[in-house]
């Protein structure tokens, strides 16, 4: 595969799609046309990824239309800071690909301030009894006060970034406490990971694990495995803490053992064959993590695995038709959702990020 040629084609398509998608914050497509969550669901956790994709193209190729569209998304997200249930642990997903990218590429002071606000809120979700960051908000019964989820490993880079920006170790200290808790509480002996762990919010005792977006309790939800793989690798890159590297290697080795012959990734490695849904996002996220891990662990085997995942996606699941807004086909948000195997914006984002990494053109957002 000629990855640079592919990246040029992704960029060409990106420009065409941006021109007809101005003012949108897409999540998926309907008949190939991006939807828009700007009004209907501005606090949705995926609302940073379209801007992240635009900033990645801007960082590699320039182009004012890309910057303009990305900045508009970032400004729209300001509403989220004030919504009663708008903020949750996914602040990293919302503001690193928007404000974080903008600050890196342009030095915008408004973006720096947004990063600071988002990091303060994320740090405020830390529970010192159990050394974890609370995931979701209260739905009226107090049930989720002690819930942490594996996805949060990908939000920790917002805290590492805030410590650097503000010359203040508190954010990093919270991130490492959460990462160390997650290494013990989420990662199973075989290297697979739980989605949710419930702690007693008063004592910090680990109560149980819960399945949710995967097939069931004890199963191996692939996007969760991919968040862990990439997330522990990132925590290692930010801290140099060897335990995180070892955890990333353990999770990656298990993931690699379970990649099907097709190279395409199911929603859950343990789902029944009769309802075998695919999730291209898990493949793309794992590919990003594996490229970084190949360097960090000095193991070229992880790079080979990356190429296998990305080649399968590029050959079988990539839509380069410029009349269609999305890139990746067959993404799935959760096994038990009514809808499976459709386009999802973070699939497009991470696939492009992975190709950017291969070409040495990435703006590092995490």
Contacts of 153 (CB under 8 A, 6+ apart): 179, 182, 227, 228, 230, 231, 232, 234, 235
170-185 and 222-239 helices, crossing angle to 10°: 140
Contact call for residue 45 and ligand GLY (CB under 6 A): yes
Q: Exactly one of 223, 238, 254, 326 binds ligand GLY (CB under 6 A); which one?
A: 223
CB contact at 8 A, 192 and 127: no
> How far from chain centre, in Å, is Cα 165?
22
H/E element holding 132?
strand 132-133
Q: How far is the CB of 135 from ligand GLY (least distance, A)?
A: 9
The strand pair at 147-149 and 196-199 is best described as: antiparallel
User: By C-beta, is 288 or 333 nearer to ligand GLY?
Assistant: 333
User: By C-beta, is 58 or 335 nearer to ligand GLY?
Assistant: 335
Contact call for residue 357 and ligand GLY (CB under 6 A): no
Contact call for residue 89 and ligand GLY (CB under 6 A): no
Contact call for residue 278 and ligand GLY (CB under 6 A): no
d(CA 26, CA 296): 33
Q: Please work out the total of residues on this chain that contact ligand GLY, with binding judged by CB under 6 A.
A: 5
Contacts of 226 (CB under 8 A, 6+ apart): 255, 281, 282, 283, 285, 286, 289
User: By C-beta, is 114 or 223 nearer to ligand GLY?
Assistant: 223
Q: How far is the CB of 96 from ligand GLY (least distance, A)?
A: 14
User: By C-beta, is 151 or 292 nearer to ligand GLY?
Assistant: 151
User: By C-beta, is 226 or 358 nearer to ligand GLY?
Assistant: 226
User: By C-beta, is 67 or 317 nearer to ligand GLY?
Assistant: 317
Q: How far is the CB of 113 from ligand GLY (least distance, A)?
A: 25
Instruction: Report the SS3 class of residue 316.
Output: helix
Q: How far is the CB of 155 from ligand GLY (least distance, A)?
A: 9
User: By C-beta, is 18 or 281 nearer to ligand GLY?
Assistant: 281
Ramachandran area for residue 223 (φ above 0: left; ψ -120 to 50: alpha; else beta): alpha
Contact call for residue 151 and ligand GLY (CB under 6 A): yes
Q: How far is the CB of 361 from ligand GLY (least distance, A)?
A: 25
d(CA 333, CA 337): 7
Which residues within the stretch 184-213 sit at the binding site for ligand GLY (CB under 6 A)?
Answer: 213
d(CA 268, CA 223): 8
Site for ligand GLY, rule CB under 6 A: 45, 151, 213, 223, 333
């Amino acid at each position: 595969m000629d990855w640079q040629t592919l990246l040029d084609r992704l960029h060409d398509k990106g420009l065409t799609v941006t021109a007809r998608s101005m003012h949108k914050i897409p999540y998926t497509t309907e008949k190939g046309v991006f939807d828009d969550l700007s009004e209907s669901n501005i606090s949705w956790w995926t609302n940073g990824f379209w801007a992240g994709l635009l900033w990645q193209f801007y960082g590699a190729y320039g182009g004012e239309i890309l910057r303009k569209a990305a900045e508009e998304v970032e400004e729209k997200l300001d509403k989220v800071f004030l919504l009663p249930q708008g903020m949750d642990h996914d602040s990293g997903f919302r503001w690193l690909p928007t404000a974080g990218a903008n600050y890196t590429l342009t030095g915008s002071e408004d973006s720096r301030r947004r990063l600071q606000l988002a990091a303060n809120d994320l740090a405020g979700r830390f529970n010192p009894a159990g050394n974890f960051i609370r995931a979701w908000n209260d739905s009226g019964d107090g049930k989720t006060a002690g819930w942490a989820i594996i996805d949060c490993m990908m939000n920790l880079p917002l805290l590492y970034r805030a410590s650097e920006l503000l010359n203040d170790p508190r954010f990093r200290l919270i991130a490492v406490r959460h990462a160390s808790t997650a290494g013990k509480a989420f990662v199973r002996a075989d290297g697979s990971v739980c989605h949710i762990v419930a702690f007693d919010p008063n004592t910090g005792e680990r109560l149980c694990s819960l399945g949710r977006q995967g097939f069931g309790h004890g199963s191996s939800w692939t996007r969760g495995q991919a968040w862990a793989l990439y997330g522990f690798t990132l925590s290692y890159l930010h801290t140099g803490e060897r335990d995180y590297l070892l955890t990333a290697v353990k999770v990656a080795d298990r993931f690699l053992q379970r990649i099907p012959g097709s190279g395409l990734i199911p929603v859950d490695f343990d789902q029944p064959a009769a309802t075998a849904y695919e999730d291209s996002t898990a493949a793309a996220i794992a590919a990003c993590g594996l490229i970084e891990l190949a360097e960090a662990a000095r193991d070229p085997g992880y790079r080979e695995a990356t190429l296998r995942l990305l080649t399968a996606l590029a050959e079988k699941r990539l839509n380069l038709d410029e009349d269609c807004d999305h890139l990746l086909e067959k993404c799935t948000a959760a096994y038990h959702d009514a809808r499976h195997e459709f386009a999802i914006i973070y699939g497009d984002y991470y696939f492009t990020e992975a190709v950017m990494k291969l070409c040495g053109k990435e703006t590092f957002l995490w």
